[in-house]
Amino acid sequence: MEGHINVPGGMVWYKIVGEKTNKLPIIVLHGGPGYPHNYLKPIENLSDERQVIFYDQLGCGKSDRPIDTKLWTVERFVAELAEIIKILKLEQYHILGQSWGAALAGAFALQKPKGLISLIFADPYLSTPVWMKDAKRLTELLSKDKQRSIEKYKKDGIETKEYKEAKRDYYKMFIRGYKRTPAEVIKSRIGTNNDIYNFMWGPTEFLATGTLKNFDLTPRLSEIKVSVLLVCGRFDEATPQALKHFKNLLFDADIKIFEKSAHSPHLTEKEEYIKTLRIFLRKVES
């Protein structure tokens, strides 16, 4: 089942996978901002026991693409999610937010919505200061030459051949983590809106210059009173150290680290990933 829903700013596309059961549905929030849902397709495997709901946030994928930058705020994306839940008449539900989707899920949870039962923060971006601190540390794992080329880019903004090679290595090590690009990732890349990403975040994963440059949910994470599962890859740009920090701030949280993965354990360790999600969701509902 799929269709479109009118939200603040335009129409967003959604898809519901699976039949209604006695298990609660899970809403999946993609990353970016502006990187549509396709790459999260493995989560469909949960649909044998509960409905899995995907949607493309306004501006990317199969949703409308307005060009008004006033729409690209955390508050509007939260309002968008609330409208989707209202229109689909979801009385109780879980939310999984991946990367930027975790920030959106966290901001939504802070509104204390009645139907929210649990959260899964997957490879989570929850704080720009934490993210940038980790990015600096991960950059220092590259060769000295590549570190210098990245620092030079941060100063002059010129993409030299050396910088592009350094960026490629960073992305390969801490984001992709797979040898061959999955078809789902290619589809997401085709539907990506880089204008939103650049406006809200910046030019690259390790340089925040957009409207999210001061974004930080950590002072309020203790206000989230539902159960939370934090997951990431051992070599994730959303690092295990960051997850431990978030866990200590949350009311009720568990951590799962995928030992062979970077920023996409749902693609690189699919079976273990789905098993982990199943166990958590069943536990919360028991």
Q: Which residues are catalytic?
A: 99, 236, 263
Q: What is the distance between the alpha carbons of residues 148 and 142, in angstroms, rounded to a whole number?
A: 10
Those residues with Cβ within 8 angstroms of residue 124's Cβ, 6 or more apart along the chain or in another chain? 97, 98, 99, 102, 103, 106, 230, 232, 238, 242, 243, 246
Distance from C-alpha of 188 to C-alpha of 33, rounded to nearest angstrom: 12
Q: DSSP string covering 161-188, please?
A: HHHHHHHHHHHIIIII--SS--HHHHHH
Distance CA 252, CA 223 (A): 11
CB 16 within 8 A of CB 2: yes
Q: What kind and span of H or E run contains 83?
A: helix 74-87
